[in-house]
Copies of this chain bind each other. A is one copy, B any other.
Amino acid sequence: MNKTVREIAEIVGGKIIGDENVVITGISGIKEAKPGDLTFIANKKYKNLLYTTKASAIIVGYDISDYVNGITLIQVENPSLAFAKIMSLVGPEPITFPPGIHPTAIIGKNVSIGKDVSIQPFAVIEDYAKIGDRTVIGAGVYIGHYTKIGCDCLIYPHVVIRERIKIGDRVIIHPGTVIGGDGFGFATVKGVHHKIPQIGTVEIGNDVEIGSNVTIDRARFDKTYIGNGVKIDNLVQIAHNVYIGDNSIIVAQVGISGSTVIGKNVIIAGQAGIIGHINIGDNAIIGGKAGVTKNVPPNTHVTGFPAREKWEDMRYQAYIRKVPELIERIKKLEERIKELEKNGKKTSEDH
């Protein structure tokens, strides 16, 4: 890269504080930045890094305006987004997969393939599947019978999507993820587990991103549902008949048990687990490693195991830290009472 701060401010629609002629030659995180780099501060609480960074310019929000150490600021509405825009200009040319069906790919009967679709080597697309315009099907991807994938999707290598699944537009699925494996359901008769057929499906909305080696099971009946704009990190488990509302975020290694309903704009942090058949309200936040065992109301932040509201969980942690002090106080009380009892006896004897 070789751009002035002025040119960058124009691209992101930002306001400059400082020298607009500074030349930017690279981008990086604020801690790793060297002279010539552009970086950003997404959140005011990291403002103090402004005083130690070696960057030449920083994209910040309108709530930061400290002109420090001669570092030029570019103020914007959303620093992360603005920086992302510059990153895509600066980064290495993205890898693209030109349209066309590789001769090794196996396409079943009555498969419908849209315009400008790219189907990479060793992909298998079973009968009656449908692939929307401009979608990329990566190397070795398996698409089951009757499955429908929307337009402008990017399905990375070795993803497995079983039969009768429905996926929206602009969906990204990272390698190794499995969509539509059988839900885990058995009827146990005299200690022997009989498989309960999982005849439902999975439906995934638009603008969803799903990480690597995720598993999303098909429903027992009806469907497992992932709403529009949901983002799912790596190694997440989503059981049969789970419903996830629009724009929720599920961080790595989370597990959601069967038939649980997650609202809109929910955030579930890493390694949390949620039992089956409960409701998590809109805008709820589930802390990392939390174990959620009952309904969570909307707009509620829960943490711990069993998960409670965050302030309550913190109070419990504080109580436990007080126990050693309590032991000391009880010991002293016991001594003082013993003393009193001795004196009482003396007083009685005095009489």
Q: Using a CB–CB distance below 8 Å, which chain A residues touch chain B?
A: 27-29, 32, 42, 77-78, 80-81, 83-84, 87-88, 90-92, 94-95, 104, 106, 120-122, 124, 126, 138-140, 142, 144-145, 156-158, 160, 162-164, 172, 174-178, 181-182, 184, 186-187, 189, 191-197, 199, 209, 211-213, 215, 217, 220-222, 229, 231, 233-235, 237, 239, 241, 247, 249, 251-253, 255, 257, 259, 265, 270-271, 273, 275, 288-289, 291, 305-306, 315-317, 319-324, 326-327, 329-330, 333-334, 336-337, 340-341, 343-344, 347-348, 350-351
Contact = CB atoms under 8 A, between A and B. Distances in A.
Contacts of A251: 184
| A-B interface, 6 closest residue pairs, ranked by CB to CB distance from nearest | A91-B199, A80-B187, A160-B175, A178-B212, A215-B234, A319-B323
Contacts of A94: 197
Contact of A84 (B28, B197, B336): B197
Nearest to A124: B139
Contact of A160 (B176, B327, B350): B176
Contacts of A336: 337, 341
A84 B348 CA distance: 80
A253 B167 CA distance: 25
B199 A90 contact: yes
B337 A95 contact: no
B174 A176 contact: no
B184 A231 contact: yes
Contacts of A289: 273, 291, 305
A193 B140 contact: no
Contact of A329 (B215, B330, B348): B330
A296 to B, nearest CB: 16
Given A222-B28, A330-B330, A320 B320 contact: yes
Contacts of A88: 197, 199
Contacts of A80: 187, 196
A193 B249 contact: yes
Contacts of A237: 233-235, 252-253, 270
A189 to B, nearest CB: 5
A84 B196 contact: yes
Given A157-B124, A234-B215, A192 B28 contact: no
Contact of A327 (B78, B175, B322): B322
A273 B270 contact: yes
A120 to B, nearest CB: 7
Nearest to A82: B187
A184 B231 CA distance: 8
A106 B306 CA distance: 51
A351 B348 contact: no
B91 A197 contact: yes
12 contacts: A84-B194, A87-B197, A95-B144, A122-B124, A142-B157, A176-B213, A184-B234, A305-B305, A316-B320, A319-B327, A323-B326, A336-B337
